[in-house]
Amino acid sequence: MAEAPAHDYPTIEPTSFDVVICGTGLPESVLAAACAAAGKTVLHVDPNPFYGSLYSSVPLPSLPSFLSPDPSDSVPLPPSGDDLHTAVDLHRRNIYSEVEISGAAPEPSRRFTVDLVGPRVLYCADEAVDLLLRSGGSHHVEFKSVEGGSSLFYWEGQLYPVPGSRQDIFNDVATFKLTEKTVLFSFFKLVRAHIAAAAHEDGEGEEASDKISEEDLNLPFVEYLKKQRLPPKMRAVVLYAIAMADYDQDTDCCEKLLTAREGIQTLALYSSSIGRFANAQGAFIYPMYGHGELAQAFCRRAAVKGALYVLRMPVSALLMDEERKNCLGARLTSGQDILCQQLILDPSYKVPILDAPSDGSDSNLLRKVARGICIISKSVKQDSSNLLIVFPPKSLEEQQIAAIRVLQLSSNLVVCPPGMFMVYLSTPCADTSNGKQCIKKAIDALFAPQASDSLEGHLEETSENNEDLKPTVIWSCVYVQEITEGTSSSLLSCPTPDERLDYRSILDSSKKLFADICPNEEFLPENSAAVYADVDSDSAD
């Protein structure tokens, strides 16, 4: 996307701030709101004409240029009359690769909104929701429920419902045998008792005896589940569809082995999310219009606290001291120099002093996530609009080392026209080829390929008489995204979207970066909300 000529850029006043943030992705936007609430002066710029950066929701026609930008659109560094600082050129880099698009997008294509971070949801009891409520950001974003009972997991070629409560377990006649249901219910009861006891740390007697021992909590979660005599199918449900483990836990070379403590913490979050909001049926909610609304909500809260926002404003260079050890500010594409105490960049900026170690390394060693996006005209599950599907490791092929997550969204989230559905898929991968192959296998397992013109009428006629016919893929995109962590130094860099289903790790990174900037300040305290903010516990619509 070509930028406007330098003379069209506004002059920014003042020219010095406590914090300058480049990019309006979710972690940058949360940091802007937190810094502004802590009394810092904040300048927040973005080269795009919209909020969200790598976390944005874009119209479908804009997706190809976002994933594969034209290098000719880069802006040359303008001259500056200030010779007091050493300017170090700053360039953008593309974190996406292996982009493969198939099919023609349905018209009108601009009615389809694409999330760059999908599939992703928020737990109703997630800290991200708490931050929105206590900061007042919930007044700028609405949510819909991912229907309770509509989480599914794939096992031996079939889709089964994920049980989330005692009622779900015993009402399900297809997934488990009666003896298996009793074992699973006993395990959930044990976990609930531990959670209740852990909430009263000073408890004694019966309450204290309900806590799971430290020895068991330190076990790998898969080993603890085996100790509780859960059979393989049940372990898969708990590990990958409820505790949301990413990698195959039943192997000696697991990329990230989940401990029983970590698994039970996620089970506690899952359990406390069910029923938190009266109008949310299950544990998960999704922002209407897409995840880009979350970044925009935090930007609005930052603006209420005095942060200054300038879109369509790239940063061209860093302003360093003579020894190039300390960053003193940023040079904007307009040619204006802005001084600051702290500069924060989104991860699309390639900074030599930060990226030097990775330039000479093998890019295949970087963490990556393979993502897929599909448009279909029929729900995967009859009478369900928004639903989550999990493919456990090895459920599609022996080489599948990580879970594949799939999220189907409908028009009630205003992300597509009525009668259409957006579907997102993702799986972490070390090898781009294997990652894309897993995504394509999941697509093949759920959907029928796009029909040719000669067969289209026949398939439509057949679908009217066969409710079990797979949905047909109308349009699809498969690509790979690089994952980088936030960087703490004199120059801070925020993390890219990761492979996880929720934002817990992203928020943890944001809190660590905030602690570097404001070591003695509370992270987005409750009084950071505007005086007119009236937080309603039923904010999730």
DSSP 206-252: HHHHTSPPHHHHTSBHHHHHHHTT--HHHHHIIIIIIS---B-SSST
Rounded distance between C-alpha atoms, residue 507 and residue 27, angstroms: 7
Rounded distance between C-alpha atoms, residue 170 and residue 189, angstroms: 14
Last residue of a domain, one of 249, 273, 297: 273
Range of the domain at 77: 6-94+289-361+485-528
Strand 473-483, strand 387-391: pairing? unpaired
Range 386-408 average pLDDT: 94
More confident position, 170 or 41:
41
Rounded distance between C-alpha atoms, residue 324 and residue 327, angstroms: 7
Rounded distance between C-alpha atoms, residue 380 and residue 425, angstroms: 13
Last residue of a domain, one of 273, 301, 327: 273
Quickly state the pLDDT bin for 71 (edges 50, 70, 90): low
Does 232 map to a domain?
yes
Low-confidence winner among 40-44, 359-363, 420-424, 486-490 (lowest mean pLDDT): 359-363
- pTM of this structure: 0.88
Q: Is residue 321 over pLDDT 90?
A: no
Tokens 């698994």 correspond to 263
| The predicted structure's pLDDT at residue 518 | 93
Does 153 map to a domain?
no
Q: Is residue 276 over pLDDT 80?
A: yes
| The predicted structure's pLDDT at residue 206 | 52
Q: Is residue 1 over pLDDT 70?
A: no
Q: Does residue 174 sit in the same domain as residue 219?
A: yes
DSSP 385-430: SSEEEEE-TTSS-TT--B-EEEEEE-GGGTSS-TT-EEEEEEEEES
| The predicted structure's pLDDT at residue 441 | 96
The contacts of residue 441 (CB under 8 Å, 6+ apart) are 396, 397, 400
Low-confidence winner among 70-79, 403-412, 455-464 (lowest mean pLDDT): 455-464
Burial class (CB in 10 A: 0-12, 13-18, 19+), 540: buried
Q: Residue 24 sits in a domain of what CATH number?
A: 3.50.50.60
Q: Give the 3-state secondary structure percentages of the chain, helix then strand then coil, rounded to 5.
A: 35, 25, 40
| The predicted structure's pLDDT at residue 489 | 66
Does 41 map to a domain?
yes
Task: Give the closest residue to 291 by CA, choosing from 126, 482, 142.
Answer: 142
| The predicted structure's pLDDT at residue 195 | 87
One-letter amino acid at 235 equals R
Q: Is residue 44 over pLDDT 80?
A: yes
| The predicted structure's pLDDT at residue 539 | 38
Range 434-455 average pLDDT: 83
| The predicted structure's pLDDT at residue 423 | 98
One-letter amino acid at 6 equals A
Rounded distance between C-alpha atoms, residue 51 and residue 45, angstroms: 10
CA 358-360-362 angle, 5° bins: 75
DSSP H/E element including 344: strand 337-345
Q: Does residue 263 sit in the same domain as residue 305?
A: no
Does 453 map to a domain?
no
Task: Give the closest residue to 438 by CA, choosing from 402, 412, 474, 464.
Answer: 402
Q: Is residue 201 over pLDDT 80?
A: no
Quickly state the pLDDT bin for 486 (edges 50, 70, 90): confident
| The predicted structure's pLDDT at residue 432 | 92
Q: Work out how many domains the chain is built from and give that number.
A: 2
Does 475 map to a domain?
no
Q: What whole-number percentage of the chain has pLDDT above 90?
A: 57
Rounded distance between C-alpha atoms, residue 117 and residue 290, angstroms: 10
Q: Residue 257 sits in a domain of what CATH number?
A: 1.10.405.10
Q: Does residue 229 sit in the same domain as residue 293?
A: no
Q: Which two tokens stand for residue 70?
A: 């034209």
Q: Is residue 63 over pLDDT 90?
A: yes
Q: Does residue 84 sit in the same domain as residue 223?
A: no
Range 369-377 average pLDDT: 97
Q: Is residue 11 over pLDDT 50?
A: yes
Strand 315-320, strand 42-46: pairing? unpaired
CA 445-388-536 angle, 5° bins: 165
Helix (H, G, I), strand (E, B) or coil at 182: helix
Helix (H, G, I), strand (E, B) or coil at 474: strand
Phi, psi of 348 (to 5 degrees): -80, -10
Quickly state the pLDDT bin for 263 (edges 50, 70, 90): very high
C-alpha to C-alpha distances, 223 to 141, 243, 255, 373, nearest whole angstrom: 41, 14, 16, 35
Last residue of a domain, one of 215, 240, 273: 273
Does 381 map to a domain?
no
| The predicted structure's pLDDT at residue 163 | 79
By the 8 A CB rule, do 298 and 188 touch?
no
| The predicted structure's pLDDT at residue 341 | 93
| The predicted structure's pLDDT at residue 251 | 80
Q: Does residue 85 sit in the same domain as residue 12?
A: yes
C-alpha to C-alpha distances, 204 to 191, 209, 212, 266, nearest whole angstrom: 18, 8, 14, 25
Q: Does residue 327 sit in the same domain as residue 229?
A: no
Q: Is residue 302 over pLDDT 70?
A: yes
Partnered with residue 20 across adjacent β-strands are 43, 343
More confident position, 526 or 516:
516
30: left (phi over 0), alpha (psi -120 to 50) or beta: alpha
| The predicted structure's pLDDT at residue 8 | 77
Query: How long a stretch of residues is the chain?
Result: 541
| The predicted structure's pLDDT at residue 198 | 81
| The predicted structure's pLDDT at residue 275 | 81
Q: Is residue 533 over pLDDT 70?
A: no
Q: Does residue 172 sit in the same domain as residue 269?
A: yes
| The predicted structure's pLDDT at residue 148 | 59
Q: Is residue 464 over pLDDT 60?
A: no
Q: Is residue 325 over pLDDT 80?
A: no
Q: Does residue 174 sit in the same domain as residue 268?
A: yes
By the 8 A CB rule, do 531 and 54 touch?
no
Range 72-96 average pLDDT: 70
Compute CA 235 distance to the chain's CA centroid, rounded to the nearest angstrom: 25
More confident position, 215 or 362:
215
Q: Does residue 78 sit in the same domain as residue 225?
A: no
Q: Does residue 256 sit in the same domain as residue 347?
A: no
Q: Is residue 147 over pLDDT 60?
A: yes
Q: Does residue 344 sit in the same domain as residue 490?
A: yes
Q: Is residue 538 over pLDDT 60?
A: no
By the 8 A CB rule, do 527 and 136 touch?
no
Residues 492-520: b if buried by 16+ CB within 10 A, e if exposed: bbbbbbbbbbbbbebbebbbebbeebbee
Q: Is residue 208 over pLDDT 90?
A: no
Q: Is residue 172 over pLDDT 80?
A: no
| The predicted structure's pLDDT at residue 540 | 39
Does 393 map to a domain?
no
Q: What whole-number percentage of the chain has pLDDT above 70?
A: 82
Q: Does residue 186 sit in the same domain as residue 37?
A: no
Q: State the average pLDDT for the chain.
A: 84
Does 80 map to a domain?
yes
Range 230-241 average pLDDT: 92
